[in-house]
Amino acid sequence: MENIMNLPFLQELLLSTMRMATPLLIVALAELYSEKAGLVNIGLDGMMAFGALVGFLTSYITGNPYLGILAGGLGGIMVNMIYAVATIQLGAQQIVFGMAINLFAPALASFIYKAYFGISSTLAQATLMEPMAIPLLSEIPFIGKILFHHTIIVYIAYLLVPISYIFFEKTKAGLNFKAVGEFPKAAESLGINVYRQKYLACIICGLLAGIGGAYLTTAYVSTYSDGIVSGRGFIALSAVVFGRWMPTGVLFAALLFGFADSIQLRLQIINPETPYQLLAMIPYLSTLFALAFFGIKKSGPKANGQPYFKEER
Amino acid sequence: MNFKNNLIKALIPIISILLALLTGALLITIIGGNPVEAYEYLLRGAFGSKNNIGETFVKATPLIFTSLAAAFAYKCGVFNLGGQGQFVMGAVASALIATTNNSLEGLPLIIVSLTAGTIAGGLWGMIPGILKITRGLNELIVSIMLNYVAILFMGYLYTAPLRNGSVPQTAAVRANLSRLMDGPRTHTGIIIAVVLAFGIHYFMFHTAAGFKLRAVGMNQIASFYNGFPVKRLMLISFIVSGAIAGLGGSIELHGTQNRLMSGFGDGYGFDGVAIALIAQLNPIGSLIVAYLFAVLRTGATTMQVGTGLPTAVIDIIQALIIVFAVAGSALTNMPKIKQVILKFSLASKKEED
Q: Which amino acid is at A54?
A: V
Q: Where are the alpha helices (DSSP H) in B160-282?
A: 189-206, 208-218, 220-225, 230-252, 268-278
Total domains in the fold of chain A:
1
Say whether residue B318 is in contact with chain A using an 8 A CB cutoff.
yes
Measure Cα distances from A132 to A150, A153, A158 in Å.
Answer: 6, 10, 15
- pTM score, whole prediction: 0.91
The span from the CA of B179 to the CA of B50, in Å, is 14
**Residue A76 forms part of a structural domain:** yes
Which residue among B159, B318, B322 sits closest to A277, beta carbon to beta carbon?
A: B159
Phi and psi at B261, nearest 5°, equal: -155, 175
Q: With H, G, I as helix, E, B as strand and everything else as coil, classify residue B163.
A: strand
Task: Judge whether B134 is closer than 8 Å to chain A, CB to CB.
Answer: no
Domain membership flag for residue A235: yes
CB-nearest to B312 from A82, A97, A111 is A111
Comparing CA positions, the residue from B114, B132, B109 lying closest to residue B236 is: B132
pLDDT in tens, B83-124: 999 999 999 999 999 988 778 888 889 999 999 999 999 999
In chain A, residues 168-227 whose CB comes closer than 8 Å to chain B: none
Going from the C-alpha of B91 to that of each of B126, B195, B198, B316, the distances in angstroms are: 17, 20, 23, 28
Dihedral Cα B259, A281, A97, B282, nearest 10 deg: 40
Listed by start position, the domains of chain B span 1-33+320-353, 57-288
Other beta carbons within 10 angstroms of residue A273's beta carbon come to 4
Q: Is the CB of residue A287 less than 8 Å from the CB of residue A257? A: yes
pLDDT at A313: 44
Closest CA to B2 of B352, B341, B350, B351: B341
Per-residue model confidence (pLDDT) at position B93: 96
- How close is the nearest chain A Cα to the Cα of B111, in Å? 30
CA dist., res. B136 & res. A292, Å (int): 9
Partners of B179 in beta bridges: B187
Predicted pLDDT of residue B340: 75
Q: Which residues of A touch B159 (CB under 8 A)?
A: 275, 277
Q: Which residues contact B113 (CB under 8 A, 6 or more apart)?
A: B93, B94, B97, B98, B173, B175, B250, B254
Residue A287 lies in a domain: no
Phi-psi region of A192 (alpha: psi -120 to 50; beta: other; left: phi over 0): beta
User: Mutual orientation of helices A247-270 and A7-36 as an angle, nearest 10°?
Assistant: 140
Neighbouring-strand partners of residue B187:
B179
Residue A228 lies in a domain: yes
Q: What DSSP string runs through B30-73?
A: HTT--HHHHHHHHHHHHHSSHHHHHHHHHHHHHHHHHHHHHHHH
Which residues face A132 on adjacent strands? A150
B308 in A contact zone (CB under 8 Å): yes
- In chain B, which residues have their Cβ closer than 8 Å to the Cβ of A232? none
Chain B residues closer than 8 Å to A91 by CB: 330, 333-334
B222-228 long-range contacts (CB < 8 A, ≥24 apart) are: none
Low-confidence ranges of chain B (pLDDT < 70): 1-4, 345, 348-353
CA distance B251 to B230: 32
Q: Do B138 and A231 touch (CB under 8 A)?
A: no
| CB contact A275 to B (< 8 Å) | yes
Does residue A237 sit at the B interface (CB-CB below 8 Å)?
yes
The Cα B295–Cα B40 span in angstroms is 12
- pLDDT value at position A5? 63
Helix (H, G, I), strand (E, B) or coil at B241: helix
Chain B contact for A241, CB < 8 A?
yes
Domain-located, residue A174: yes
Tens-digit pLDDT string for chain A (313 aa): 455 567 888 888 898 999 999 999 999 999 999 999 999 999 999 999 999 999 999 999 999 999 999 999 999 999 999 999 999 988 888 998 999 999 999 999 999 998 888 876 677 888 888 888 888 888 888 888 888 888 899 999 999 999 999 999 999 999 989 988 888 888 888 888 899 999 999 999 999 999 999 999 999 888 898 889 988 999 999 999 889 899 999 999 999 999 999 999 888 888 888 888 999 999 999 989 988 887 666 567 888 878 887 765 4
The answer as to whether A311 is a domain residue is no
Please answer yes or no on whether B146 and A288 come within 8 Å at the CB atom: yes
A16 part of a folded domain: no
Q: Which residues of B touch A84 (CB under 8 A)?
A: none
The answer to whether the CB of B89 falls within 8 A of the CB of B246 is yes
By the CB < 8 Å criterion, does A273 face chain B?
A: no
A264 touches B at CB < 8 Å = no
- Report pLDDT for B220: 84
The number of C-beta contacts closer than 8 angstroms across A and B is 141
Residues in A closer than 8 angstroms to B274, CB to CB, are: 99-100, 103
Q: Give the structural domain span for A52.
A: 22-118+151-253
**Does A167 map to a domain?**
yes
Residues facing A150 on adjacent strands: A132
Do residues B121 and B249 touch, judged by C-beta distance below 8 A? Answer: yes
